[in-house]
Chain A
Amino acid sequence: MTTTAGPRAPERLAPEPAEPERQQTGFEREERRFARILVAPALLVLAVTTTFPLVYLLVSSVYRTNLGATAGNGFVGLGNYVQAFGDGRFWHSLWLSCVYTVSSVVFQIVVGMALALVVNRIRHGSWALRIIALLPILLAPVVVGLVWRTLLLTPSFGVVDYLSETLGFGSHDWLGEPTSALVFTIIMHTWQWTPFCFLVFLASLAGMPAELAEAAKLDRASAWNRFWHITFPLLRQAIVVVAIIRTVVALSAFDAILAATGGGPGTATEILNLYVYRASFGELRLGYGSALAVILLFLTFAVAYLFYRLGRRRQS
């Protein structure tokens, strides 16, 4: 999955020298042994830190493990899942996850693309913009949530509130009202990660052959047509990759929301990920939390797989 063919093309052209049959097998056996030894340590660590916990999670999702009220704890089969499907709070959090993910990813990609297209035409000084764009990406999301909550959104203190008052919209408890709290958690996420899309698209644009756009210009194609028929197809791979990464990250967004609203007010910003956290570590219903986490897991992989297929089909 690369956007620049550059250095990889020649190595594909050069055929590997054929070796005599008998030697090859010995060499290959040696080669495989070598490779197995090399991947062993990483594989071991991955098994211990990811696969074992996942199996544990699956097992724990079929038990009732309520550390707050231990009576009735034990094997419940699919009970936790059945409970989830009848749980209005679960469906609400799932809906919020969809709203949060779709809107923030769409905004990130659209704004990031627009900025990249503009900045790509700047000949000098775009390095300064790239450095500024780097800032939010480097910050810890929890710090982003804190800064927004305190310095920007606090009523009668934050800069956003000040602007709103100056412009005549009045002072509001931005994170205290359900709708605006959700909107601002989405804005925070979009704020932090739009530069990600911007930088990736800018890099992809820079790797594009300039002659194509020039030729289209000579043909008097309109700016929109040039974008739609030339730039967009060339960026498709980058867009798919960015969309996958941003969607997976948005689905498991946590830090900034917890820092800014804690999922509140009430459950207004409680996306599925936060519900898992609150059920598991707030209410200590670990079994139920595990079942919710398994659902989130499947959702994440399903979406990633969907994007992957989509990208492949369009390409061929």
Chain B
Amino acid sequence: MIGRTGRLVAAGVAIVVVFLTWAFPVLWTAVTSLKFAKDIFAYPPKLFFEPTGLNYDGVLGGRQTLVNDLVSSTVISLGATVLSVAAAIPMAYVFARCHLRFKNALALYTLFTYMIPRIGLVIPFFVVFRKLGLTGTYSGLTLVYLSFSLPFAVWLLVPYFEDLPREMEEAGLLDRAGRWRTLWYVILPQVRGGIAITAIFVFITAWNEFLFGVVLSGSEVRPITVAMYNFIGVEQTLWGPLTAGAIVAMIPVIVLGLGAQRGIVRGLTAGSIKGGSRT
């Protein structure tokens, strides 16, 4: 019999494996970002060293500053999140609840747009943006980000609307509140949590986006992911600033992601799997 001991051993092994494999690279990045150059280049890698905030001073000020890029990423990601969630809410509500001719075809179309490889969209955008002078502008990049954030938001939101009991709307309608007022005053307050989680996931995906940024951004408006990429190759690899930059780029998404942990499985599968009680 395997029994209790076996289970404990298996659990222990699982914990060690998961920790070493998945937490270590992230922690090691954090550790490296706190080292002086002499400690970074020490080989074998140093576990004990004198910590410094020098690299962070560098990326948050100084010559290698990433502040502009952080601002760009924040503006574009927030813009894409607000716009796509605002447009996705009514569409998701219709998909979940309303009668509409060709509704299934529309839903399929939305799923289809979500699966388009971004490389297929970036070529046309590259050509058109050059003609219209939208390359490297906030409005241009935000618009492009909507191509993936909007269908993603719709598919995340649909199950939240489906979960609502129908009686709630019926009660609203019987009160002669009308379709619009029922939606605004009765339905929406009930899906606030779902909307918040959706917004977080949309923001994370937008923040992490790279391909559109690397092709369509300029020197002024440039997402943090592209700035990180430029660390390599342009000059000698600057390990300290690189790791500090990586950590700075990670912090917002990690904080938001942990905050939305409850909805993570829905978020990952764009609503197609709801997840069990524990997640």
Chain A positions near chain B (C-beta within 8 angstroms)? 1-4, 7-8, 11, 14, 16, 28, 30-32, 34-36, 38-39, 41-43, 45-46, 48-54, 56-57, 60, 115, 118-119, 121-122, 125-126, 128-143, 146-152, 156-157, 159, 162, 166, 191, 195-196, 199-200, 202-208, 237-238, 241-242, 245, 248, 251-252, 254-255, 258-259, 273, 276-277, 280-281, 286, 289-290, 293-294, 296-297, 300-301, 304
B245-268 to A contact mask, C-beta < 8 Å, 1/0: 010011001100110010011001
- Also in contact, A162 and B25, with CB within 8 A (given A8-B162, A140-B210, A245-B269): no
Residue of B13, B45, B88 with most partner-chain A CB within 10 A? B45
CA distance A122 to B265 in the complex (A): 19
Query: Cβ of B100 and Cβ of A138 under 8 Å apart?
Result: no
Query: Cβ of A49 and Cβ of B147 under 8 Å apart?
Result: yes
Query: Cβ of A138 and Cβ of B165 under 8 Å apart?
Result: no
Does B76 reach chain A (CB closer than 8 Å)?
no
CA distance A64 to B150 in the complex (A): 32
CA distance A184 to B242 in the complex (A): 21
CA distance A49 to B113 in the complex (A): 9
- Also in contact, A255 and B210, with CB within 8 A (given A43-B106, A46-B150, A241-B272): yes
- Also in contact, A46 and B249, with CB within 8 A (given A151-B243, A241-B273): no
> Which residues B199-223 have CB closer than 8 A to chain A?
204, 207-211, 214-215
Query: In the complex, which residue of chain A has the Cβ closest to the Cβ of B232?
Result: A146
Query: Cβ of B11 and Cβ of A38 under 8 Å apart?
Result: no
CA distance A128 to B22 in the complex (A): 12
Query: Cβ of B115 and Cβ of A53 under 8 Å apart?
Result: no
Query: In the complex, which residue of chain A has the Cβ closest to the Cβ of B226?
Result: A142
CA distance A203 to B263 in the complex (A): 11
**Cross-chain contact of B7 among A2, A121, A159 (Cβ < 8 A):** A121
Which chain A residues border B151 with CB–CB below 8 Å? 46, 50
CA distance A38 to B103 in the complex (A): 12
**Cross-chain contact of A254 among B84, B147, B210 (Cβ < 8 A):** B210
Query: Cβ of B278 and Cβ of A300 under 8 Å apart?
Result: no
Query: Cβ of A135 and Cβ of B26 under 8 Å apart?
Result: yes
**Cross-chain contact of A45 among B14, B118, B146 (Cβ < 8 A):** B146
- Also in contact, A49 and B144, with CB within 8 A (given A35-B99, A135-B23, A149-B232): yes
**Cross-chain contact of A248 among B115, B166, B207 (Cβ < 8 A):** B115
Which chain B residues border A42 with CB–CB below 8 Å? 87-88, 90-91, 110, 150, 154
> Which residues B121-171 have CB closer than 8 A to chain A?
121, 123-128, 143-144, 146-147, 150-151, 154, 159, 162-163, 165-166
Query: Cβ of B275 and Cβ of A301 under 8 Å apart?
Result: no
Query: In the complex, which residue of chain B has the Cβ closest to the Cβ of A41?
Result: B87
Query: Cβ of A159 and Cβ of B94 under 8 Å apart?
Result: no
CA distance A4 to B276 in the complex (A): 7
Does B225 reach chain A (CB closer than 8 Å)?
yes
Query: Cβ of B117 and Cβ of A251 under 8 Å apart?
Result: yes
Query: In the complex, which residue of chain B has the Cβ closest to the Cβ of A299?
Result: B117
Which chain A residues border B179 with CB–CB below 8 Å? 30-31, 34
CA distance A52 to B132 in the complex (A): 15
Does B56 reach chain A (CB closer than 8 Å)?
no
Which chain A residues border B44 with CB–CB below 8 Å? 162, 166
- Also in contact, A119 and B23, with CB within 8 A (given A36-B100, A46-B110, A54-B121): no
Query: In the complex, which residue of chain A has the Cβ closest to the Cβ of B115?
Result: A248
**Cross-chain contact of B225 among A130, A255, A277, A293 (Cβ < 8 A):** A255
Query: Cβ of A147 and Cβ of B25 under 8 Å apart?
Result: yes
Query: Cβ of A49 and Cβ of B273 under 8 Å apart?
Result: no
Query: Cβ of A142 and Cβ of B21 under 8 Å apart?
Result: no
Which chain B residues border A41 with CB–CB below 8 Å? 86-87, 90-91
Query: Cβ of A242 and Cβ of B242 under 8 Å apart?
Result: no
CA distance A35 to B100 in the complex (A): 6
Which chain A residues border B82 with CB–CB below 8 Å? none
Query: Cβ of B18 and Cβ of A134 under 8 Å apart?
Result: no
Query: Cβ of A207 and Cβ of B275 under 8 Å apart?
Result: yes
Q: How far is the CB of A90 from chain B (nearest CB, A)?
A: 14
**Cross-chain contact of A49 among B143, B180, B225 (Cβ < 8 A):** B143
Query: Cβ of A56 and Cβ of B128 under 8 Å apart?
Result: yes
**Cross-chain contact of B232 among A162, A199, A259 (Cβ < 8 A):** A259
Query: Cβ of A280 and Cβ of B150 under 8 Å apart?
Result: no
- Also in contact, A3 and B119, with CB within 8 A (given A35-B94, A138-B257, A140-B207): no
